[in-house]
Chains A and B, each alone.
Chain A
């Protein structure tokens, strides 16, 4: 089955700096790669996703890049704000509604004011 590895496990940045979180996946059949932000006790919140026919996607301060050959994808957050502090999870799936997501281990992001 799919295996997703995520690094780093914790990340502390100063407000205004950029944050980068990286994930690798093992199954070349995976074609859907979402990123989630999760606050304590809450459901995961989709912040951005990318499909394998695209190499990069951006939404305001958030961007995701995908390298299919190397089987890795990254989340980039620019101009970080204290409210960005949370746990972030990457995930991978084969992209249809009948396939589950395989999650990375998570990154705890702390943005220092």
Chain B
């Protein structure tokens, strides 16, 4: 199947700093990518939809100025958590569909963010 690669797999940062997470589609182009957040023992919740060449669409309750999304190419979307706080500690996962096949959603391996 298609491959979505996410980096880093885990990161620890200090409160107040920013962290950038990358999501790449390695063998297909993705005009749309999705960013989910998963707190411990909870489900995946959609944060935002990343659109290549245009602004991201954020879900209700997600601060767009705190979670900056950039989708500058057809294979790369980035999520930057700005001024991170301990409550931002979570598992962040990106996802994309291979539009050429449009058969299923492919997920990155996720990023475990811990803010101390």
Contacts and interface: CB of A to CB of B under 8 A. Distances in A.
B44 interface: yes
Classify chain A's interface size: 10 to 19
Contacts of A46: 104-105
Contact of B43 (A49, A100, A105): A105
B107 to A, nearest CB: 4
B46 A97 contact: no
A102 interface: yes
Given A89-B44, A98-B32, A104-B43, A42 B104 contact: no
A38 to B, nearest CB: 9
Contacts of B102: 96-97
Classify chain B's interface size: 20 to 34
A93 B92 CA distance: 20
Secondary structure type dominating chain A contacts: loop
Contacts of A113: none
B67 interface: no
Given A97-B99, A101-B95, A43 B46 contact: no
A49 B106 CA distance: 13
Interface of B: 30-32, 34, 42-46, 49, 91, 93, 95-99, 102, 104-105, 107-110, 112
Interface of A: 34, 41-44, 46, 49, 89, 93, 96-98, 100-106
29 contacts: A34-B105, A41-B91, A41-B110, A42-B109, A42-B110, A43-B93, A43-B109, A44-B44, A44-B93, A44-B107, A46-B104, A46-B105, A49-B104, A89-B43, A93-B105, A96-B97, A96-B102, A97-B30, A97-B98, A97-B99, A98-B32, A98-B97, A100-B49, A101-B44, A101-B46, A102-B46, A104-B43, A105-B42, A106-B43
